[in-house]
Each structure stands twice: as structure tokens, then as C-alpha cells.
């Protein structure tokens, strides 16, 4: 399976995603340049973390107008997998692939830490190798990670099982203390209506090696393989 990783000006986790896919999961990966229109036959698109266009105006707001994004949106509309991590989640929201928005963290500071997230739905193409309720250790690093949406959108997301990850403590409680950025209802990641676009603030590609502290992110990438391959 081929992963296409988009490099926007200011992307800085493209390299990490590339290595997680190729070295850890053992699949093919290619970088996709933001000025191009060619997805190079990629099966899965990753919108990586970073500061696309310096996060000027608003995180993700300019990147959504990149030439490559027209193809990414079309890819998503066709039901193919798109994974937006951190800045990629912000871009996916700005591009209308996911509902809601990512706002400045409630404490107004950048937060870099290993957090715990609870798997809310293990029946998606991104989470089928996890158990529902399982608590994962994954790093976050962002200044604008507070997920917000209107109450009815939040209710709908929760009702439809589209909230995929929630910030939680070691015992799996989605408590206020475990929420690193003030996200509504501790939401760390959501999926699109069609179930093929996942956006999340934590960085699964940074949790792919016991040497670096956690390998809980590996199964997210492997889940995509098992589903798409099936």
C-alpha cells in the first residue's frame, strides 16, 4: 500500500510520518508537494503536523487553498483514507473534510507532553486493531489544539460514534485534568461522516518505538492496512 505524505511550506512532521510508514510499518511512502496536483497513485493520504504557511491567519487556513488540496479533497470524497495529524487535523477542518475547529489552547500556552487517549470507537478503518476503552500513550505538541463545535454537532459526533479518541487519565477517565488543551468533551480525534477521514491532535507517528517511550501509535497505521487490504 502506498502512503502519500503532503509537504506544505512549514510542514515539519512529514519526515516523521514518512519514517513511521516505511521503517515501522514497512509500507511504501512518497512525499507530495503542495504545488502539485498529482497524488502519485497514493492509497492513503497523510496531512502531517507542522506550521503550514506559518499558521498565518489561522492554523490550516491557507494550506486548504494549496493546489494539492483539491486532489486530497477529491480523494476523500471518493471514500479513500485521509489521516490528518495535528496541523493536518486543522487543515482537514478548514477544508471542510471534518466538522468543528481547533482553537488556541485554553491555557494559551503551547503544550508538548506525552498524554493518554482513550479509544472511543475501535470499529473504524483507523482503529480496528485497538480495543474500545483502551488507553494509549501518545505525544501531543500544539498551540491550537482545543477542539470546538456547536453542542448539536458535538452531540451528533458522539451519537454517531465519530469521536474516536478522548484525552483520559491512566485509568481511562476523561477528566478535566487529563485534557491538555481544553477541548470540548476531551475530544482528541474525530472521523468524517463517511468514516474515511480521521483528524487527531496527538501524534501517532511519534509513538512508534519503545526506544522513544511508546509504540501505541503503530496499530493506527496498521489498522489502515488491514482494512484497506481486506
Partner 1 sequence: MSEVTPRTGDPVITPALVAEHGLTRAEYERLVAMLGRTATFTELGVVSALWSEHCSYKHSRPVLKTLPTTAPYVLQGPGENAGVISIGDGLAVAFKIESHNHPSAVEPYQGAATGVGGILRDVFTMGARPIAMLNSLRFGTLDDSRVRYLFSGVVKGIGDYGNCVGIPTVAGEIVFDPAYESNPLVNAMCVGLMHEEDLIRAKAQGVGNPIMAVGARTGRDGIHGASFASEDLSEASDTKRPRIQVGDPFTEKLLLEASLELIKSGHIVAIQDMGAAGLTSSSAEMAERGDVGVTIDVTKVPTRESGMTPYEILLSESQERMLVVAKKGHEDGVRAILSKWDLTAAVIGEVIAEPVYRVTEGSKIVAEFPGSRLVTDCPIYSPEARESSDIVALRNTDPNSIPARPEEKDHVWTLQRLLSSPTIASKTWAYRQYDSTVRTNTVVGPGGDAAVLRVRGTNKAIAVKTDGNGRYVYLDPRVGGRIAVAEAARNVACTGARPMAITNCLNFGNPTRPEVFYQFKEAVAGMGEACRALGTPVTGGNVSLYNESPAGAVYPTPVIGMIGLVDDISRVTRSTFQHDGDAILLLGEMGGELGGSEYLATIHGKVVGAPPRCDPVREKLVIDALLAAIEAGVVSSAHDCSDGGLAIALAECCIANRDCESGAEIDLSGYSSLTDRGILFGETQGRIIISSPAPERVLAVAKAAGIPCAQIGRVLRHSDSLDITLPKSSLRSPLSVLRRAYHSTIPAIMSRTVEHANFDELSPVAAH
Please identify, using beta-carbon distances, which residue of 57 and 74 lies nearer to partner 1: 57
Given 86, 93, 94, 120, the catalytic residue: 86
208 is annotated as an active-site residue: no
Least distance from partner 1 to the Cβ atom of residue 170, Å: 9
Least distance from partner 1 to the Cβ atom of residue 12, Å: 2
Binding site for partner 1 (CB under 8 A): 9-10, 12-13, 15-16, 19-20, 49-51, 53-57, 108-114, 139, 141, 143, 203, 205-206, 208-209, 211-212
86 is annotated as an active-site residue: yes
Given 27, 71, 120, 205, the catalytic residue: 205
203 is annotated as an active-site residue: yes
Please identify, using beta-carbon distances, which residue of 170 and 230 lies nearer to partner 1: 170
Planar angle of CA 50, 51, 57, nearest 5 degrees: 155
Please identify, using beta-carbon distances, which residue of 54 and 96 lies nearer to partner 1: 54
Least distance from partner 1 to the Cβ atom of residue 84, Å: 17
Least distance from partner 1 to the Cβ atom of residue 113, Å: 6
Please identify, using beta-carbon distances, which residue of 56 and 132 lies nearer to partner 1: 56
The catalytic site residues sit at 86, 203, 205
Amino acid at each position: 500500500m502506498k502512503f502519500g505524505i503532503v509537504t506544505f511550506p512549514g510542514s515539519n512532521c512529514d519526515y516523521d510520518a514518512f519514517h513511521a510508514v516505511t521503517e515501522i510499518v514497512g509500507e511504501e511512502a512518497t512525499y507530495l508537494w503542495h504545488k502539485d496536483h498529482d497524488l502519485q497513485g497514493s492509497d492513503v493520504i497523510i496531512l502531517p503536523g507542522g506550521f503550514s504557511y506559518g499558521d498565518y491567519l489561522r492554523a490550516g487556513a491557507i494550506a486548504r487553498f494549496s493546489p494539492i488540496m483539491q486532489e486530497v479533497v477529491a480523494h476523500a470524497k471518493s471514500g479513500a483514507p485521509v489521516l490528518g495529524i495535528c496541523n493536518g487535523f486543522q487543515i482537514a477542518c478548514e477544508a471542510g473534510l471534518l466538522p468543528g475547529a481547533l482553537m488556541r489552547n485554553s491555557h494559551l500556552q503551547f503544550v508538548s507532553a506525552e498524554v493518554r487517549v482513550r479509544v472511543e470507537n475501535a470499529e473504524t478503518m483507523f482503529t480496528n486493531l485497538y480495543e474500545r476503552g483502551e488507553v494509549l500513550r501518545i505525544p501531543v505538541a500544539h498551540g491550537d489544539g482545543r477542539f470546538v463545535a456547536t453542542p448539536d454537532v458535538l452531540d451528533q459526533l458522539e451519537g454517531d460514534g465519530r469521536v474516536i479518541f478522548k484525552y483520559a487519565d491512566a485509568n481511562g477517565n476523561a477528566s478535566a485534568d487529563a485534557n491538555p488543551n481544553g477541548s470540548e468533551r476531551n475530544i482528541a480525534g474525530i472521523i468524517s461522516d463517511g468514516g474515511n477521514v480521521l483528524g487527531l491532535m496527538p501524534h501517532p507517528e511519534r509513538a512508534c518505538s519503545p526506544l522513544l517511550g511508546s509504540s501505541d501509535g503503530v496499530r493506527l497505521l496498521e489498522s489502515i492496512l488491514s482494512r484497506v487490504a481486506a
